[in-house]
Structure 1
Amino acid sequence: MKFLFRALSPLFLGVVMFNCIRFTTDLLRYEIPWSSGPMKYHLFALCTTIVMCYAFDFASRYFLSRVRPKLKISVVSECMLIILNLLVVMNLIMFVGDRLGVLYMGNIITDYVVANVIYIPLFLIYYIILRTNQLETDYHRQTLQLEKIRTDQLEMELKFLKSQYHPHFLFNVLNTIYFQIDEKNKEPRRTIEMLSELLRYQLYSEDNKVLLEQEFDYLNTYIALQKLRANERLELNTFFDPSLQKYRVSPLLLLPLLENAFKYVGGDYKIDITARKEKNGLFFSVTNSIPPSVIQTRKRAGIGLDNLRRRLALLYPGKHTLEISKEDNIFVVKLFIVLEDAIC
């Protein structure tokens, strides 16, 4: 029903507009409507009006959905812009149509004035109706998006609360194992210490934002643990810009990128990790070599990266970019986050 109304409304508008012209001009001349002049001119004019209405409908919908949101102009300016365009296009069509013999502009000045006085207000009313409908649709869409964001946030909080049992349990077990290991076995005790540090950070970094200094310490501990079990051929390069340390960021956003790199590294066994300040934000990139088998079978990003996208959309809407690409046998992830919080 909605599609049918949208398809027929320009036709209805064109018929109404043209008959307003006919009744106005013919009755002013004391003639029966549609009786003045050859019928073919009336039909040509009616068809031209209907085509104009469909073109105006298409142009208005495109303007409302694609152009107007970018212009950020007032309603008055918007209406003046529409009127100006209508004045130019309509009079150009009438002028060309008259010269080609398709349209008949008998009393030139009167016919042009009448056409402008009748057509432009009706076109403007039609545009206002479309604009109101578009605003209502946008409002409804935004309301649904806000509800979805609230639901996603509640789900994330619920999952976080459910997952806390396991880190607490592991943390306590690790402490028990640590004290059961002989003090002479320094390497396993240090490994357990590092793992405990990771779990402690996950458990107790409950603030909305943490210092990047803390986040970098956490990543360095994670990297140290991964190096213990990594292939001896692994070539690892890291750089964490010290100038970023006093900025705040949501915790545990960068870890999925490292997990992804260590999980899929292969081929030349190279991983490059870079965190630097760029313009007004944090630029974080992770590059890792991958074997040919992974290149062929891995068609999409993993669950960790999908979850990261969702978190970024919730925490940094419109203030981040995440680019994932594969170049030959190299997997590249680039993350940029606008930083606003800093401790001087």
Structure 2
Amino acid sequence: MELLEKDIEDIIYASPWLLDERFDIPNIRSKANRMPGRQVNVGNNGVNRYIDLLFRDTRDNRPVIIEIKKGDLVRENIAQILEYRALVISLNDEAKLEWLDEFGRNYYCPKLILIGTNASEEVRISANLAGIEIRTLVGEEKISVDFNEISEISQKLNKWNEFIKSGNRTLEDRDEWVREIYKMIKDVVREYDNDQITTIKKVYETSNKDSWIEGLTFPFISFPISYKEDYLCGIYEYFNESLCYSEEYVYFDFYIQRISNEEDEDFIQQLEAKVLELLKIKGYSIIVLENAIATIKIKRALLENVGQFKERLATLITDAIYLNDQIDIFELT
């Protein structure tokens, strides 16, 4: 059967990996459309402007605006998708909050993809100069569409996307993912209003020289944060058998310098009780308090939302400083 423009849209929506294996669907919907990422209205002042497909590039958490044309691409299509980008950048306050929640501040620099049957050299050059990627449909007139099969594939892909959104990664892309987490942590440290907050200067990658499978390593997240050159807190995936790797969460710890320097066992117990009290007031649920380290769990899914993760990490650092300051002034009563 001959594909209609909507059929092409259906196929790509069901399988974002056809465009890029790292694309997924953000949770942004039009009021008239219950399907996220589909026919998203970015118009204003009573004028509707619908984006065909809205994806997310999970590598940098940027929105991907996709316009599909059943036919040759022309210069007017370039103007159309550039208008969409301008409308996204100038979203009203209500819509902006939704986009900020999904993409953080990367919402204002969307990627643009035009899809059509063909494009002249002039159109390709114009699109390239405007920062628009051109994709062309090859052999679409010969495609036989089985929408039941597409539905089955979509269900399997949805399960896979849920696995990715949970913060888990395959061995193939784990190295890159760990570096992305490090970059977010480094950004928070750099933006934090205190130049005495620091982290490691680079990712210390696992050596594969003696690995069981040549060329294959399995790095864990393990990033410390220091305050006044002393260890303050950190985020990690694995510590020991009791704090082992989990598909659901990662670990964050608060280091209490004063406890580590105390020798009086009774006083240490009082300090630990004070730590638990202070962290409970802040809303934390401690899973381990041992050797001057109080450990909590963080949902892995939080690592997939740049804006929320950075905001949470900044709060954790602030609370870690507060905790140590309060313990420093704590005295026996």
With the shorter chain as reference, the TM-score category is: under 0.3
Q: Higher Cα Rg: structure 1 or 2?
A: 1
Structure possessing the higher relative contact order (Cα contacts under 8 Å, 6 or more residues apart): 2
TM-score, scaled to structure 1: 0.19
TM-score, scaled to structure 2: 0.20
Normalized per residue, which structure has more strand?
2
